[in-house]
C-alpha cells in the first residue's frame, strides 16, 4: 500500500521526460524536413516501427511503445551526422537495450512466474520506459551538450561534441545492465544477498544482488557501450567512459534499492531514473577529468 502512494514519482518521471522528448521530436522533424528530408523520414519512420514492433511483441503497452518511439526519435536526432546513415545514430544502442531487455525478461520466465516476480505480460509501462531511457534523451539534447561542453564543468573547454555522446550512452548502458542483472539474477542466480549487508534474502528483494546477475549486467553494459561506440564512431574513451558509467549506475541502483526504496521513500521508476542519471553524471565527470 505504501508503494502505491508513490505512484506520483512515476508520473513525475514521465512528466520530466515525455513533454521534452515530444517537443524535441516535433521541432527537429520540422527542421530536418525543411533542410534534409531524408533525416526526418528515416528517423521518425524507424522510431515508429520500433515502437510498433515492441507493442506487438507485448514488450510494452501501447502508451509505453509510443513513449519509447518519441524518446528513440529524440535520441536519433541528437546523434545525426552527415552524410546521414540511420545506423550511425543512437538507434543502434537503443536497439541493443531493447533486445537485451526483451531476452532477459523471457529467460526463466516460468520460474519467475512461480516466484511471483515476473514482469507484467502486457509489457512495460510508459513511466518504466521514461525511467530507463529518459535521462539519455535529456542529456543528449543539443542545448544540454552545448552547455556542458562550454561550461566550466570541463577544465579545458575543448571537449568534442561527439565525445559527449558518451554521457547519454552511459545512461543507456546502465538501463540495460540493470534489467539484465535483475532478470538473470532472479532466474539463475540462486539466493541473492543484500548489497549493503551481504545478508541472504529472498529473490526479488530490493537491493539484492547475485554474482550471475551482476556479471550479466556488467556484460550488458559493455555490449551497449560497445555497439553505441561503433555506431557513433567514437573511440576508446567513449567506450570506456560509457561502460564504466553503466557499471557504476548498476551498483548505485542496488544501493538505492536496499536503502531508500526498501524504506518506502522511492519507487522503482524513481530508482531507475536516478540510477541512469548517476551513470550519466559519472560519465560526465570522467570526461571532465580526461579532457
Q: Where are the domains of the chain?
A: 83-290
Four-residue CA torsion sign, 227, 286, 215, 117: negative
Give the pLDDT of residue 186. Answer: 86
User: Which pLDDT band, with edges at 50, 70 and 90, does 115 fall under?
Assistant: low
Give the pLDDT of residue 142. Answer: 57
Q: 117: helix, coil or strand? A: coil
**205 with 117: CB under 8 angstroms?**
no
Q: What percent of the chain has pLDDT over 70?
A: 86
At 12-34, the pLDDT tens digits run: 999 999 999 999 999 999 999 99
pLDDT at 120 over 70: no
Give the pLDDT of residue 1. Answer: 45
> Alpha-carbon distance 164 to 241, whole Å?
10
Pick 140 or 263 by higher pLDDT. Answer: 263
Cis before 5? omega within 30: no
Give the pLDDT of residue 127. Answer: 96
pLDDT at 146 over 70: no
pLDDT mean across residues, the chain: 88
**54 with 117: CB under 8 angstroms?**
no
pTM: 0.91
Amino acid at each position: 500500500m505504501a508503494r502505491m502512494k508513490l505512484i506520483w514519482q512515476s508520473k513525475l518521471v514521465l512528466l520530466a521526460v515525455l513533454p521534452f522528448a515530444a517537443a524535441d521530436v516535433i521541432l527537429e522533424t520540422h527542421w530536418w524536413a525543411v533542410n534534409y528530408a531524408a533525416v526526418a523520414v528515416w528517423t521518425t519512420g524507424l522510431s515508429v516501427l520500433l515502437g510498433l514492433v515492441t507493442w506487438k511483441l507485448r514488450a510494452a503497452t501501447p502508451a509505453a511503445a509510443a513513449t519509447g518511439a518519441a524518446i528513440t526519435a529524440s535520441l536519433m536526432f541528437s546523434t545525426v551526422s552527415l552524410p546521414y546513415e540511420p545506423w550511425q545514430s543512437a538507434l543502434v544502442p537503443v536497439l541493443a537495450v531493447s533486445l537485451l531487455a526483451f531476452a532477459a525478461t523471457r529467460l526463466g520466465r516460468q520460474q519467475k512466474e512461480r516466484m511471483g516476480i515476473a514482469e507484467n505480460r502486457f509489457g512495460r509501462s510508459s513511466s518504466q520506459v521514461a525511467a530507463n531511457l529518459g535521462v539519455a534523451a535529456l542529456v543528449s539534447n543539443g542545448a544540454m551538450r552545448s552547455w556542458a561542453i562550454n561550461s566550466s564543468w570541463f577544465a579545458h573547454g575543448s571537449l568534442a561534441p561527439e565525445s559527449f555522446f558518451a554521457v547519454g550512452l552511459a545512461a543507456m548502458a546502465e538501463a540495460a545492465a540493470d534489467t539484465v542483472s535483475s532478470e538473470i539474477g532472479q532466474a539463475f542466480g540462486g539466493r541473492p544477498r543484500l548489497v549493503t549487508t551481504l545478508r541472504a534474502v529472498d529473490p526479488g528483494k530490493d537491493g539484492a544482488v547475485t554474482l550471475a546477475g551482476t556479471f550479466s549486467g556488467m556484460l550488458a553494459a559493455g555490449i551497449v557501450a560497445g555497439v553505441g561506440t561503433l555506431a557513433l564512431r567514437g573511440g576508446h574513451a567513449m567506450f570506456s567512459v560509457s561502460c564504466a558509467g553503466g557499471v557504476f549506475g548498476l551498483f548505485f541502483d542496488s544501493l538505492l534499492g536496499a536503502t531508500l526504496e526498501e524504506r518506502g521513500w522511492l519507487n522503482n521508476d524513481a530508482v531507475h531514473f536516478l540510477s541512469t542519471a548517476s551513470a550519466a553524471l559519472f560519465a560526465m565527470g570522467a570526461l571532465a577529468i580526461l579532457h
